[in-house]
Amino acid sequence: MGKNIGFVGGGNMAQAMIGGLVANKVSAANIMVADPDQTQRELVASRFGVRVMSDNSELASKVDVLVLAVKPQVLAGVARDLAAATQANKPVIVSVVAGIQASSIQTWMGGNVAVVRAMPNSPCLVRQGITALHANALTSNEQRGLAQQILEAVGTVIWLEREELMDAVTAVSGSGPAYFFLFMEAIEQCARRMGLPMEVAWALTLHTGVGAARMALESGQDLAQLRKNVTSPGGTTAAALAIFEQAGLRDIVDRALNGARERGSEIALEFGRE
C-alpha cells in the first residue's frame, strides 16, 4: 500500500484490522496507533511491532489514513481535538464508530474533510468479516480505494451510496454475529438436554452453522430455495420448521433487527450532535 495508516484507539477492532494488514504484507513501519492507555499501547506494540503513542494529534499529523476506532460517546471530543492536525495534513478519515454520521465528524474536525464511514463486524477478528462503506462527497477515488484495501484485509467489503442505510447494516451484520451465537447457543443447549456429550453438541452445532453458510455462499441460490431443498415434506426438518413458523420466528427477527436499527439512530442523536 505504501501509505501511513494511523489508528486512534487500540481496541479489538483496531487490532483485528492491524493484524489483517500485517498479514497482507503491509509493513508494520507504516502503521501507528494512539491510545491513552499505556498497557494497551504496550500490548499492541508487542503483538504487531507497530509504532505507538499517546498523542492523537501527533498521529494525525503523520498519516495518510486516520482510522477512528473509539466509542461513540467519546468521538466528538476526540474529533475536535484532532481538528487542527487533520486540517493541516488532510488524511482520509475512516470511522468504524457505530451510529455517528460523516457530517458530524466533518464538522467536529473543522469541515472540508474526506470521511469514509465503515461498519465492520466481529468476524473481522478472524478475517472473515464483512464491512459496509460509505464515502462523503469530499472523498477521492484514491481515498476510497485506500479505505477499501484496509477493510479487505479483514474480510469482504461492500459500498453503500446512501449513508442512511448504515443503521440497517449495523442491525443486520454489525450486530448480526450475536444473533447467530444466540441461535447456536440454543441449539447446543438443547442437544445437550437430548443427551449428547458437550463436545459433540458443540461440534455438531458449529459445523452445521459453518456448512450451511458455505453452502449458501457457494451455491448462490436464494435462501428460501435452499431451505426448501433440504426440507422433505413430512420429515424431521419440516416438523422443526413448522414449530418455528408457528412461534412467529420471522416476526421476532423483524422486531429485533428494527430495534437494533432504531438504536443506531438514537446513538446518532445522543452522541452525534454537531
For the chain, what is the mean pLDDT?
Answer: 94
User: Residue written as cell 470521511?
Assistant: 115
**Rounded (10°) CA dihedral 128, 167, 8, 46:** -20
DSSP string, the chain: --S-EEEE--SHHHHHHHHHHHHTT--GGGEEEE-S-HHHHHHHHHHH--EEES-HHHHHTT-SEEEE-S-HHHHHHHHHHHHHHHHHH-PEEEE--TT--HHHHHHHTTS---EEEEE--GGGGGT-EEEEEEE-TT--HHHHHHHHHHHHTTEEEEE-S-GGGHHHHIIIIISHHHHHHHHHHHHHHHHHHTT--HHHHHHHHHHHHHHHHHHHHHH---HHHHHHHT--TTSHHHHHHHHHHHTTHHHHHHHHHHHHHHHHHHHHHHH---
Express each pLDDT in 29-74 by its tens digit: 999 999 999 999 999 999 999 999 999 999 999 999 999 999 999 9
The three three-digit cell numbers of residue 161, written as one number: 451510496
Q: Is the pLDDT of residue 273 over 70?
A: no
Per residue in 113-168, pLDDT (tens digit) is 999 999 999 999 889 999 999 999 999 999 999 999 999 999 999 999 999 999 99
What is the residue type of 226? L
pLDDT in the model for residue 2:
81
Q: CB neighbours of 198 closer than 8 A, spacing ≥ 6?
A: 192
pTM, entire model: 0.89
How far is the C-alpha of 11 from the C-alpha of 26, rounded, in Å?
A: 19
CA atoms within 13 A on the CB side of 97: 29
Confidence of residue 8 (pLDDT cuts 50, 70, 90): very high
8 A C-beta contact, residue 59 and residue 4: no
Rounded mean pLDDT of 197-211?
98
Instruction: Annotate 44-76 with b (16+ C-beta within 10 A) or e (fewer).
Output: bbeebebbbbeebbebbbbbbbbbbbbebeebb
Q: If you write DSSP's letter for every residue of 151-199 in order, what string do you get?
A: HHTTEEEEE-S-GGGHHHHIIIIISHHHHHHHHHHHHHHHHHHTT--HH
| Alpha-carbon gap, residue 129 to 121, rounded angstroms | 6
Amino acid (one-letter) located at 3: K
Domain annotation for the chain: domains and CATH numbers: 5-169 (3.40.50.720), 174-265 (1.10.3730.10)
